[in-house]
Amino acid sequence: MKGLGGKVAIVTGGAASIGAAIVRSFVEAGARVVIADIDEAASLALARELGPNALAIPTDISKDASIEACIATTIKAFGRLDCLINNACLYLDRGLASTREEWHRALDVNLIGHVIMLRESLAELRKSRGSVVNIASVGGKFGQAGRALYPAAKAATLQLTRNQAVELAEFGIRVNSISPGWTWSQPIERATKGNRAKADRVAAQIHPLGRVGNAKEIADAVLFLCSDAAGFITGTDLAVDGGYSAVAGDGGHPITARLSE
């Protein structure tokens, strides 16, 4: 991607699945990347795999002190910050049965932590006239029975992206979001016990392109939004969903349950 060589990115939740694909893609594009993930072992393993342009900084985005330490360590190590990718996610969700504690925990990770990451990154992003990509979801656009915490956070992410884009435009900072459809990643791998063919078969019922997405396809979209090619794009949501949103998803029925049948 044009213009990413030498830049510095932080990817929250960057140790596995979509996050790890984003980290790898940034490194391949010549950028230096911080893997900001609560899973220290997985973060360190990925950093070792990718070499000196990847740095693992164990980070709990539900803790302000951890976020502050992540930003400070990034600047000490790499001297700048150009791209913030808010990807960390918690899938805790029992719908209407969810407790107040579960609501607080889920929103802390899926929403509030991303807001604080941006707040604490802002001084450096202003220097670089950088780019922010918030990972939202098609789950934040349509209703679905049995869920509440995750889609509420993702819907809020879509609105916050627009607010942040308008507020930060005067500093040259672009803020966009990406809404993946079903993507071959840890949740779907677990649901299908690693059966990609089954995932594709079920996904084909609600994704016109007939399969689940690949993590690399989400990563490519992130890099595009951070690149010079997207220099006049801000405040928008890019649906990387195989056509899911074109057909209004699953019509409100919990089709995901079929993955584990």
91 assigned to active site: no
Q: For residue 140, with 0-12 CB atoms within 10 Å meaning exposed, 13-18 middle and 19 or more buried, which class applies?
A: buried
Give the CB-side neighbour count of residue 115, counting CA atoms within 13 A: 15
Q: Where are the beta strands (DSSP E) in 92-169?
A: 131-135
In this structure, what DSSP letter does residue 50 have? H
Q: Are 101 and 108 in contact (CB under 8 A)?
A: no
Contacts of 48 (CB under 8 A, 6+ apart): none
Q: Where are the beta strands (DSSP E) in the chain?
A: 8-12, 32-36, 54-56, 83-86, 131-135, 174-180, 183-184, 213-214, 237-240
Set 26, 78, 150, 224: catalytic member: 150
Q: What is the rounded CA–CA span in Å between residue 35 and residue 46?
A: 8
Structure tokens at 175: 């803020």
Return the active site residues: 150
